[in-house]
Chain A
Amino acid sequence: MTTVPADKNAALQPSGRLEGIGWLVNDSLTIAWRYLAAMLRLPESILFSAIQPMLLVLMFRYVFGGAIRGVHGSYVNYLMPGIFVQTVAFGAVISAVGVAEDIQKGIIERFRALPMARSAVLAGRTLSDLTRNACSIALMAGLGFAVGFRIETNVPAFLAGLGILLFFSWALSWGFSFIGLVVRNSETAQVATFPILLPFTFASSAFVPVQTMPGWLQAFAKYQPVSQVVNACRALMDGGPTSFHVLIALAWCFGLVAVLAPLAVRRYRRPA
């Protein structure tokens, strides 16, 4: 037999764009649920992943706090926005490792054979990361308040700062999922992401003022996205001129999502 009639059962056909979006939402929520449910089954891993950023708060507050110069006002207030951004940045490693592990374990293979929306795997992944980040930031803010962190502006501005932070974490999630899709192996994902994270988080305004760094480093440290997001959060939480920093930070977040999300989805869809 050579020709097969393209006789498709009407009931099998997707019926329009709106329904497509409905399924994308449904499938993304299901995938996000999958990651969160898996996390809840391992309460000890939640505990340990919470301990690390909390220790960071305490270390910077009490160990380095006295030695770091050039900061006007309270160092805790200076520190906390930096710690927030650093936490979401390092948390993004989990996205890369999680996606790589899914490929390794073959579950992506099952997803590819299901009628689900193709971008839902990554959309769900980044949605669950967003939820996780929101929880860890809430936890750290609580600890911050306990060790002397105070909002010097007002609550809406503080919340706006957290909003930018989460937006940034979402952008990173897409980027790190892309890395996971490329390396396809959870150990590789783990080691591949640290060399990217270290310069961006430490050569930034997260913990020390950029002016204290050598000139050649300042050029990078000043303009890279982590610093810009830290500056925006700091302005919104600790005071100072806000609109400029906020606009730059939002531009970075939009730009990163606009580039990284399609990149990751394209990589996922790429036929093997």
Chain B
Amino acid sequence: MPDPPAIEAHDLTKRFAKGNVLALDGLSFETPPGTVLGVLGPNGAGKTTAVRILCTVLVPDNGRAAILGLDVVRDAVAVRRVIGLAGQNAAVDENLSGRQNLQMVGRLSHMARGQAKKRAEELLEQFGLTNAASRSLKTYSGGMRRRLDLAAALVAQPPILFFDEPTTGLDPQTRRDMWTWTERLVAEGTTVLLTTQYLEEADRLADQVIVVDHGKVIAQGTPESLKADLGSTVLLVTLENSENAPRAAALLGPLGTRAPIVEDTLVEMSVENGPKAGSEALRVLDADGITVLGLVLREPSLDEVFLKLTGHRADSGPPAVATQASAESVGPRARSAR
């Protein structure tokens, strides 16, 4: 008998009576053990709803889902023994200390008292909370709470983890730490489902990505294959003068696979053959007397994949700064929609 997928969803639908919102509209995917599945989607796409159903907190209207072959509705109790959840809002007890919170989760996961204590100390250490361990959570910063919430998901060392926007509200250093922890867990065989709005995060961590919009999967694949689907390289041209931008865009238009995006002095477009298009771009602009300050060729970001698939942009994420020097990190997010 083949091993069941770590996480599978088949045609999940969920409608919330309040507001009559169809949050999930036939969501299907599966992910093998020991991998990271990135779930990307704009606000309201249904990511959190899907996670809540997979964690047995919510019951779907239709369709079914299973964790390691265990049905999330029929075998809910067994499912809860193999999962850890760090939800979108840190679900921790404000009135207890960090240590007490972790011990409580250990006891409720049916660990022996001594074992729960030991595990709590390990996690406090790992997440840099040892010094704050006996303080009430009321004195914790948002990032500390977030870290404690992640630690709580790891208490019972479950083989399947659900992280719903795990790095929202974390500082860059802690976010990188979080990535390292996740990679370590996966190296040890854990399966992680991670929802995120940070495309960089999915790119870095996920083996497979599904893009969710309006409650269904609109694309899936490896981060690389999704980017390859765009079938082109991104060409960014920085002009000296923004008044020339519309004219430059018109000149460059025939070189690209879709209409160029103009923002201030920056013209962005997708091209088939990067180097050829680059030199051609310089030539036509020079012939027209338009001064070019910089030209960058790069792989499309998941952001652009996302735009192409949904027709609208991911509207939150770390602000990217559009400077010449860091053109590598210039995502379309930094500019308004075309």
Contacts and interface: CB of A to CB of B under 8 A. Distances in A.
Interface of A: 1-2, 4-9, 12-14, 23, 26-27, 30-31, 33-34, 37-38, 41-42, 105-107, 109-116, 271-272
Q: Top 8 nearest A-B pairs by Cβ distance? A: A38-B95, A271-B59, A110-B91, A106-B91, A115-B80, A30-B107, A116-B108, A113-B55
Contact of A12 (B8, B81, B91, B136): B81
Interface stretch (B70-78, B189-197, B261-269, B318-326): B70-78
A115 B70 CA distance: 14
A272 B78 contact: no
A123 to B, nearest CB: 13
Contacts of B78: 8, 12-13
B100 A37 contact: yes
7 contacts: A4-B5, A27-B108, A42-B95, A107-B93, A109-B85, A115-B77, A116-B109
Interface in B84-134: 85, 87, 89-97, 100, 104-105, 107-110
Which residue among A13, A27, A106 has the maximum number of chain B CB atoms within 10 Å of its CB? A106
Given A107-B92, A115-B81, A26 B107 contact: yes
B30 interface: yes
A161 B68 CA distance: 54
Contacts of B87: 106, 109-110
B210 interface: no
Contacts of A12: 70, 78, 81-82
Contacts, number: 101
Nearest to A111: B108
Interface residues of B, number: 44
Given A114-B109, A115-B110, A116-B108, 10 more contacts: A7-B1, A12-B81, A14-B77, A27-B107, A34-B96, A34-B104, A38-B93, A42-B95, A113-B83, A114-B108
B104 A8 contact: no
Contacts of B8: 1, 4
B66 interface: yes
B32 to A, nearest CB: 11
